[in-house]
């Protein structure tokens, strides 16, 4: 584990400056774009109030691995944002359910789940959380008892052509691009026998009442699953409660549609999650002025890749050597790398990665490891 300490610059930042940074963020962009609708109040009044009880906000990197291959040193991508004791999960990769507990979090504090996109490495443990932690209480008397909101992509609507040409098989051709809602319903159906037995034998909660899926509605910016998947756009509102205000943009992630980056505003500061993305100005627009940027990265230097595959990979991801410049342009003082993939060396050399990520960046870089805890301010 690694505790990041608040820098002198951060610690010494006067409240007025903190406030200004909040207002300069995604909310400000939203207001400028006229995208603030009902239910998503103007930033001047919508910043969640900071309680006087000393509670705080932190990030916990539950898993930091890029991609589905099972590796022993890193769990699948998943991050917990804890605000005043309430937990928000961003992606649910392999092992997220166990890591959640290892981090000392309680399932009955889980408020909402945000899925950046529906690649398996981001959703492998999504249904598991409800299946395993929504039934019988564990030894800590912890179980999900109230509905958890799930914000994720709707159906893509179309499949891309096969990389390299030719034909690929199609699973479930009658409905080959289910979104978050149908994914969840299908899991309910697939686990019906186990759930029905437990409902009769142990009196567990009906899992269907614990998952409250809300597919993210796209603004009308001309996005197309087979064309411009992430056209230039302003951030748009996704969710707001008494602790967080969440906005999003579309990001380009190879053939995947939709793929989101999220920004969370809290009373303690703001954090932007890149999701899986190659370079895009949309991410910089969203992240501008955040206190923290959690960004994905890959390394291809020293790797034996065909030019075609290398190009293919970099249409979906950002090279670690370029991520610092993104943070610099976004005016973000702290950069956290998670969703880490090195095509040449394993396990990754964090010292080398830190040097790479620092290129062109004046702020502080942290190369994420599983269960790292990072105070928001």
DSSP letter for each residue of 113-171? EE-S---HHHHTTHHHHHHHHSSS--TTS----S-EEEEE-----SPPPPTTSS----S
Torsional class of 152: left (φ above 0), alpha (ψ -120 to 50), beta (otherwise)? beta
The window from 20-28, 33-41, 117-125, 304-312 that contacts Zn ion (CB under 5 A) reads 117-125
Nearer to Zn ion among residue 117 and residue 364 (C-beta) = 117
Q: How far is the CB of 9 from Zn ion (least distance, A)?
A: 32
Q: 313 or 374: whose CB is closer to Zn ion?
A: 313
Q: β-pairing, 236-240 with 245-250?
A: antiparallel
Residue in this structure with the two tokens 């008892």, named with its chain if needed: 145
Judge whether 123 and 185 are in contact, CB under 8 Å.
no
- Which of 97-105, 116-124, 146-154, 159-167 is the region at the interface with Zn ion (rule: CB under 5 A)? 116-124
Number of shown-chain residues binding Zn ion (CB under 5 A): 3
Which of 187, 298 has the CB closer to Zn ion? 298
| Span near Zn ion by CB under 5 A; candidates 3-11, 24-32, 53-61, 113-121 | 113-121
Q: Which is nearer to Zn ion, 276 or 291 (CB)?
A: 276
The DSSP string of 240-302 is E-SS-EEEEEE--BTTBSS-EEEEEEETTEEEEE--S-SS-HHHHHHHTT-SEEEEEEEE-TT
To Zn ion, the closest distance from the beta carbon of 259 in angstroms equals 7
- Cβ neighbours around 359 below 10 Å, total: 14
The residue among 339, 327, 325, 335 whose CA lies nearest residue 369 is 339
Q: Which is nearer to Zn ion, 147 or 225 (CB)?
A: 225
Q: Please identify, among the stretches 2-10, 57-65, 114-122, 225-233, the one whose residues bind Zn ion according to the rule CB under 5 A.
A: 114-122
Q: Count the Cβ atoms, other than its own, within 10 Å of residue 295.
A: 28
Cβ neighbour number for residue 189 with a 10 Å cutoff: 9
Residue 80, φ and ψ in degrees, nearest 5 = -105, 130
Positions 120 through 139 that interact with Zn ion (CB under 5 A) = 121
Q: How far is the CB of 91 from Zn ion (least distance, A)?
A: 8
DSSP class of residue 234? -
Contact pick of 119, 288, 295, 364 for Zn ion (by CB under 5 A): 119
Minimum distance from CB of 218 to Zn ion (Å)?
Answer: 18
Taking residues 58 to 87 in sequence order and writing x for each that binds Zn ion by CB under 5 A, - otherwise, the string is ------------------------------
Smallest distance from the beta carbon of 25 to Zn ion, in angstroms? 25
Q: How far is the CB of 275 from Zn ion (least distance, A)?
A: 8
Q: Which is nearer to Zn ion, 121 or 291 (CB)?
A: 121
Instruction: State the nearest-atom distance from the C-beta of 39 to Zn ion, in Å.
Output: 29
d(CA 359, CA 279): 16
- State the Cα–Cα distance between residues 38 and 107, nearest whole angstrom: 31
* 370 sits near Zn ion (criterion: CB under 5 A): no
Considering only residues 269 through 298, tell me which ones interact with Zn ion, judged by CB under 5 A.
276
Alpha carbon distance 78, 88 (integer Å): 11
Least distance to Zn ion from the beta carbon of 256, Å? 6
Report the alpha-carbon distance of residue 81 to residue 64 in Å, rounded. Answer: 14
Would you give the binding string for Zn ion spanning residues 229-268, x where CB under 5 A is met?
----------------------------------------
Q: Least Å distance between CB 122 and Zn ion?
A: 5
- Within 154-213, the residues that bind Zn ion by CB under 5 A are none
Binding site for Zn ion (CB under 5 A): 119, 121, 276
């Amino acid at each position: 584990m690694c505790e990041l300490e608040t820098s002198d610059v951060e610690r010494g930042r006067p409240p007025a400056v903190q406030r200004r940074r909040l207002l300069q963020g995604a909310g400000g962009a939203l207001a400028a774009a006229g995208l603030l609708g009902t239910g998503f109040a103007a930033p001047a009044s919508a910043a969640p109030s900071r309680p006087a009880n000393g509670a705080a906000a932190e990030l916990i990197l539950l898993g930091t691995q890029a991609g589905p291959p099972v590796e022993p040193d890193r769990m699948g991508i998943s991050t917990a944002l804890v605000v005043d004791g309430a937990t928000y999960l961003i992606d649910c990769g392999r092992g997220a359910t166990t890591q959640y507990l290892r981090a000392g979090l309680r399932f009955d504090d889980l408020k909402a789940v945000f899925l950046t996109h529906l690649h398996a490495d981001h959703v492998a443990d999504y249904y598991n959380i409800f299946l395993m932690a929504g039934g019988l209480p564990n030894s800590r008397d912890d179980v999900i008892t109230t509905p958890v909101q799930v914000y994720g992509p709707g159906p893509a609507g179309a499949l891309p052509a096969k990389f390299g040409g030719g034909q690929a098989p199609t699973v479930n051709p009658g409905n080959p691009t289910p979104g978050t809602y149908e994914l969840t319903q299908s899991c309910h159906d697939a686990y019906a026998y186990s759930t029905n037995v437990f409902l009769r034998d142990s009196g567990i909660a009906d899992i269907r009442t614990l998952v409250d899926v809300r597919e993210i509605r796209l603004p009308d910016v001309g996005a197309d699953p087979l064309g411009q998947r992430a056209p230039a756009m302003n951030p748009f509102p996704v969710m707001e409660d008494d602790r967080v205000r969440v906005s999003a943009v579309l990001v380009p992630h190879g053939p995947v549609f939709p793929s989101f980056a999220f920004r969370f505003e809290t009373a303690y500061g703001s954090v932007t999650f890149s999701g899986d993305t190659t370079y895009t100005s949309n991410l910089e627009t969203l992240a501008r002025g955040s206190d923290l940027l959690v960004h994905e990265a890959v390394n291809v230097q020293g790797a034996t890749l065909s030019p075609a595959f290398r190009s293919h990979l970099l249409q979906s991801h950002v090279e670690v050597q370029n991520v610092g410049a993104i943070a610099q342009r976004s005016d973000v003082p702290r950069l956290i790398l998670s969703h880490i993939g090195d095509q040449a060396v394993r396990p990754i050399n964090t010292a080398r990665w830190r040097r790479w990520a620092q290129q062109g960046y004046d702020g502080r870089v942290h190369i994420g490891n599983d269960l790292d805890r990072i105070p928001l301010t």
